[in-house]
Amino acid sequence: MKRSVRMLVSVAAAVAALGATLGTALVAAPATQAAQAAIPAQSEIRVVSWNICGEAGGSRGGVGYCPYRNEPVAKIDEVKKAVDERRANVVMLQEVCGGAPGSHMALLQERLGSEWSIRHAKGARPDGRTDCRAGLAGELGILLAVKGTVTASWAENTLPDSPADSQTLAALCVAVEGWSTTPCTTHIIPGDASRAAEQIKNVRAFVDAHAPGGSVLGGDFNRNAGAAEMAPLTSAYDSCIDGYTYHGWDTAAGEHTWHKLDHLFTTKAVGASRFASCAVDSARMDTTPNTPTSGPPSGVSDHAPVTAVLRGAPTAGDLSGDGKSDLVAVDDAGKLRLYAGLGNGSVTGGPAVIGSGGWAGASVSHRGDWTGNGTEDLVARVGGELRVYPNRGDGTLASPVRIGTGFPADSQVAGVGDATGDGYPDVIATIGDTLWLYAGDPAANPGVNPGVKPGVQIGLRGWSPMSLSAAGDTDHDGRVDLFARDANDEKLWLYRGHGDGTFGERTEYGHGYGTGNRPLLAGAGDADGNGVADLWATTNEGTGTLMFYAGETNGAGDPVDGTRTTVGPSGWNTIRAIG
């Protein structure tokens, strides 16, 4: 019996299809779906955020002085240098002129090139004017540039109205093709604590509304992170900047002043923060005294750029954070063990116990970053519950988040990664004789409370003898695939994903995989680093061994299991599940 799978577009459609096709196998997706381009896994995000004081007025020694105010080329050339040095793929600028030829925005587009997309949101000074003055081109505001394709952008004035002035200050967010993280930037009003507090609340509401998959927010907030007005952001997001980002000059006292005004935030994740590093680029900030005789400034702005790296999509199968695929196992005492991969298909001989009990009978898998911190998390069916166990970044697990209930005790689950191409991890599960897709839910909060959409049946019958496992991307098309072992014919089948929640006709990956001689199987990702998906399996030889099957391709270029190596010589007869 063939068991191909396709996604039914909605629960209602699934019910209708069941009534029409009960007792028949599902057909493969149409060729047009199979040919759709895969969305690439999101790489790490490297941000430069900088208030370039691009329109501030005043001459040397005067109030409001800004270095190189009338030399936009000098400012943008320095921005480009910072981007190159940091290998940035996101640029956030405040006090920047945009929307016209010769503006900072136009100059930046020329410097960065066609791979970059740029959006600008205008604001108004207290007098209501939005134009950049004194020969500068364009309108005053904020800017976001990303190395990628912007699929949507949103801008909104977040500054509450005041009878005293007509000032507006925007927040700006962009959606980027292939990214689950939404870059956003803003500029908060100085002084006026009550008005700033309301603006900051508005910024948070705006960002949360447009970044369901998590955000990275940067800008000039005109106050340090510990200010009471900042609580809506500091309570909800992780921050990584704590340094002096603005240099001023007290003319009356004749002395320097230093302030922590610029920040970068990202959606909180359970366990490790998504921030891998962050810094203040102080060398690009003007730190000279602001007097008529001070001479040339030492930087192109009175602010310093703030920079950060956010972890990207993790290596498939890596829990320990070292970039190598790992193996998890449930032993006969109901404990969960982590066997760290060594990068050659082998695993460490001394596993870490990452679950002290309660795992008996569980189905375990680990593919996909459910919490947004750049590390893979564990997905498991424990009893009748489907759970996500957040990875703290080193393979240890935080308290579970329940994402489903009512699962049979023999249900097999595979956290396959992103099968639907929307940037969120998904789960495939057997329920009785059927196969179901539980797609990651963008409406849930990945950093705090990940979730799945209602299950959609994608396999009608014949799945009760099947054991599922995440294969990873076996054929380098950017889409996740699925392994399924059939206990009846003792074959291991490969279902290639189309990247939209559908899978094609199965192809034989290996044979001789009976439950007697190969009781447990787990996709290993690319455990040996040769670019082809691999497999781990236990045997009943002696006291039980662990075998590694290095992935290979056949004459037609199809992935198949290859040379096997014993990587765990004994003791695997005490293991009840692997993933």
Continuous H helices in 40-187: 72-86, 104-112
Q: How confident is the model at residue 42 (pLDDT cuts 50, 70, 90)?
A: low
Rg of the Cα atoms in the chain: 27
Residue 290 predicted with pLDDT over 60: yes
Does position 268 have pLDDT exceeding 50, yes or no?
A: yes
Q: Burial letters for 120-130: b for 16+ Cβ neighbours within 10 Å, e otherwise? A: bbbbbeeeeee
Higher per-residue pLDDT: 509 or 143: 143
Pairing label, strands 546-553, 275-280: unpaired
Crossing angle (nearest 10°) for helices 104-112 and 72-86 = 40
Handedness of CA 271, 276, 282, 285 (dihedral sign): negative
pLDDT (tens digit, 9 = 90+) per residue, 399-438?
999 999 999 999 999 999 989 887 789 999 999 999 999 9
HSE of 146 in the Cβ direction (CA atoms, 13 Å)?
27
Sequential DSSP letters for 7-44: --SSHHHHHHHHHHHTTSPBPPPPHHHHTSPPPPPP--
Residue-wise pLDDT for 76-106, tens only, equals 999 999 999 999 999 999 999 999 999 999 9
**Do 225 and 237 touch, CB atoms closer than 8 A?**
no
More confident residue, 59 or 476: 59
Residue 9 binned pLDDT confidence (cut-offs 50, 70, 90): very low
d(CA 206, CA 321) in angstroms, rounded, equals: 33
Q: How far apart are CA 56 and CA 133, in angstroms?
A: 9
Q: Tell me the C-alpha distance between 74 and 54, whole Å.
A: 11
Question: Angle at the Cα of 81 (from 80 to 87), degrees rounded to 5?
Answer: 85
- What DSSP string runs through 199-254? HHHHHHHHHHHH-TT-EEEEEE-SS-TTSGGGHHHHTTEEE---S--EEEEETTTT
Q: What is the pLDDT of residue 396?
A: 95
| Res 557: pLDDT | 65
Query: Any idea which of 21-25, 209-213, 232-236 has the lowest mean pLDDT?
Result: 21-25
Confidence of residue 552 (pLDDT cuts 50, 70, 90): confident
Query: Quick one: tokens of 288?
Result: 């000279």
Report, as an integer, the average pLDDT of 139-151.
97
Query: For residue 516, what are the contacts with CB-CB under 8 A and spacing of at least 6?
Result: 540
Cα 324 from Cα 327, distance rounded (Å): 10
**Average pLDDT score over residue span 193-207:** 97
> Per-residue pLDDT for 30 more than 50?
no
Q: With beta carbons less than 8 A apart as the criterion, state whether 314 and 371 touch.
A: no
Candidates 46, 47, 50; CA nearest to 285 is: 50
Integer Cα distance of 26 and 412 in angstroms = 20
pLDDT at 132: 95
User: In this model, does residue 547 exceed pLDDT 50?
Assistant: yes
- The whole-chain average pLDDT of the chain stands at 88
Predicted local confidence at residue 372, as pLDDT: 79
8 A C-beta contact, residue 72 and residue 104: yes
Mean pLDDT along residues 455-481: 88
User: How far is 542 from 569, CA to CA, in rounded Å?
Assistant: 9
| pLDDT in the model for residue 32 | 25
- Nearest CA to 216 among 253, 191, 241? 241
- Where residue 134 falls among pLDDT bands split at 50, 70, 90? confident
What per-residue confidence (pLDDT) applies to 326? 96
* pLDDT the model gives residue 555: 67
CA 89 to chain centre: 14
Confidence category of residue 259, pLDDT binned at 50, 70, 90: very high
Least confident of 27-41, 61-75, 76-90, 285-299: 27-41
Rounded Cα distance between 54 and 78, Å, is 12
Q: What is the pLDDT of residue 255?
A: 95
pLDDT in tens, 362-400: 999 999 888 878 889 999 999 999 999 999 989 999 999
| Tokens of residue 181, six digits | 């993280």
pLDDT band at 448 (very low <50, low <70, confident <90, very high): low
More confident residue, 53 or 505: 53
The helix or strand, by DSSP H or E, that contains position 205, with its residue range, turns out to be helix 193-210
Higher-confidence position of 560 and 383: 383
HEC assignment per residue over 79-116:
HHHHHHHHCCCEEEEEEEEECCCCCHHHHHHHHHCCCE
* pLDDT in the model for residue 465: 93
Identify which has the larger pLDDT, 23 or 254: 254
Q: What are phi and psi of 202, to 5 degrees?
A: -65, -40
